[in-house]
Amino acid sequence: MSASIAISAHGLQKKFGAVTAAADIAFDIAHGERVSLIGSNGAGKTTFVNMVTGYIKPDAGDILLDGTSIIRMAPRQIARMGVARSFQIPQLYQSLSVQDNLLAAIAAQQSTLSFWRPARNTDSLASAGEILGRFDLLAHADRLVSELPGGVRKLLDIAMALTRQPMVLLLDEPTSGVSADEKFPMMDTVMRALEGSRTTVLFVEHDMDIVARYSERVIAFYSGRVIADDKPEQALAMPDVKRYVTGEMISVTDHA
């Protein structure tokens, strides 16, 4: 395998009863690539993400992370190998400040032997400060999470995932629940924070404006199959993507 490939999927199959959630899924994703996974509910994109993170095991096929098979690994092992995930509903400590959430995330990355060191040590505070700066969160450092608007909560959730310095970052609908005014500034901040990084980013996203603006590549799922894999402009223009994903009307020329 090329050293430039972060994730490689080979012939992934998964059924839940009579429902096919993955049917011969196969593609490679490079280090540092920004990829959107799109599809209607039940199309198979979340099943793929859950297979990458180890929460679902495929019935057949393989997933390689930087050349190493991960399908028999537990989620915690896969996380240690460099896969991090932020969720549609941010997984945050509501009664703690923004800074303390980051300090808790940093402490959780330490080994068992050092975990009981005070979270507010010089190194951890410096790391938290650097991440707060990258994500434009310094002004919110002392605010309780429960007081934050949706966009800031999402930024904090993603910032906490990046404390692991992951090889692969999975973002589950990063703009879901974020106001129209917040979503583009929030995504601009995330992209700036990732500049120069070799972290591979996979967005599970329903907002096609976000997909078109921030992706280098789009992989579209329908009924457990990949129906498009191309640059955003080309993928979003494909007739099957219009029909099964974006719900756009199909013109006569689209059938030609």
- Residues 45-92 have pLDDT tens digits of 999 999 999 999 999 999 999 999 999 999 999 999 999 988 766 678
CA distance 124 to 143: 18
What's the whole-model pTM score? 0.87
d(C-alpha 182, C-alpha 180), whole Å? 5
pLDDT band with cut points at 50, 70 and 90 for residue 123: confident
Rounded-to-integer distance, Cα 221 and Cα 46, Å:
10
Res 65: pLDDT: 97
**Could you tell me the pLDDT band of residue 114, with boundaries at 50, 70 and 90?**
very low
Least confident of 96-110, 205-219, 230-244: 96-110
The topology (CATH level 3) of 5-255 is Rossmann fold (3.40.50)
> What's the pLDDT at 21?
96
72: tokens are: 């028999």
Q: Using an 8 Å Cβ cutoff, are 32 and 195 in contact?
A: no
